[in-house]
Amino acid sequence: MSHLHFPKSRFTASFVHLLLSAVLLAILISIVIFVWYPGALMFAGGAEQGLKIVIAVDLILGPLLTLVIYNLNKPRKELIRDLAIIAIFQVSCLFVGMSLVYEQRPIAVVYSGNDFYILDQQQVEKHEIEMTILDSIEGRYPKIIFEKPPLNENERMQYEVSKSPFFPLRFYSDLWITFPRKKVDLKEYFQIEDDSNCVNKQLISYNEVSSVCFDIEQRLFSDNK
């Protein structure tokens, strides 16, 4: 352990800890933003609580603990032990925070009735949706799904009635298809400007309702302000 080089002051040690934590945080947030919660799904999907834990521990608590306990007058073994305890605590908290974010990540976004709905793992299980159905939908997760109304007039009427506010929310997974990429396939269901690829609708999750634009070419949701 004699070959290890330690910062000369607690402030330098805390800054180094902050710098390393910031790099780790940038990697984790990139995964959240670009993989688990792309586009406007970031806030509509409920990632904030888990990220608050991650940011608080990674950028505040960890470096602050290093600032408090760091002391070169300590025996080297004791200093390494203290720093290891902080590292283990920080990694444990990061694991908890990222687990919350991962568990609440959108697995699918389904256009059903007249709105987009975010489904996480809990919602998928609640509505008894088989994962094999989601796997059959083209594209990577989260799947973007269009619940296409029945072609039969009577069945379509019953479908539309079931989507009224007077009935509990229900999904018809047997009607699910990959959300179309061509405007011509959507003209019957949406009003889309000729110079736009944007479908303007509400995006609903268990804790959030927001107005969004879904770009049918880029397959991304963005805030509609």
Residues 6+ away with beta carbon under 8 Å from 172: 112, 147, 159
- Whole-model pTM? 0.83
- Per-residue pLDDT tens over the stretch 54-73: 888 888 989 999 999 998 88
pLDDT in tens, 80-121: 999 999 999 999 988 988 988 898 899 999 999 999 999 999
Backbone angles phi, psi at 204, to 5 degrees: -115, 130
Query: Is the pLDDT reported for residue 208 higher than 50?
Result: yes
Residue 8: strand, helix, or coil: coil
- Identify the bridge partners of residue 204 per DSSP, sorted by sequence position: 117, 209
What b/e string do you get for 161-171 counting C-beta neighbours within 10 Å, with b at 16 or more?
eebeeeeeeeb
Q: Is the peptide bond before 75 cis (omega within 30 degrees of 0)?
A: no
In whole numbers, what is the pLDDT of the chain averaged over residues? 89
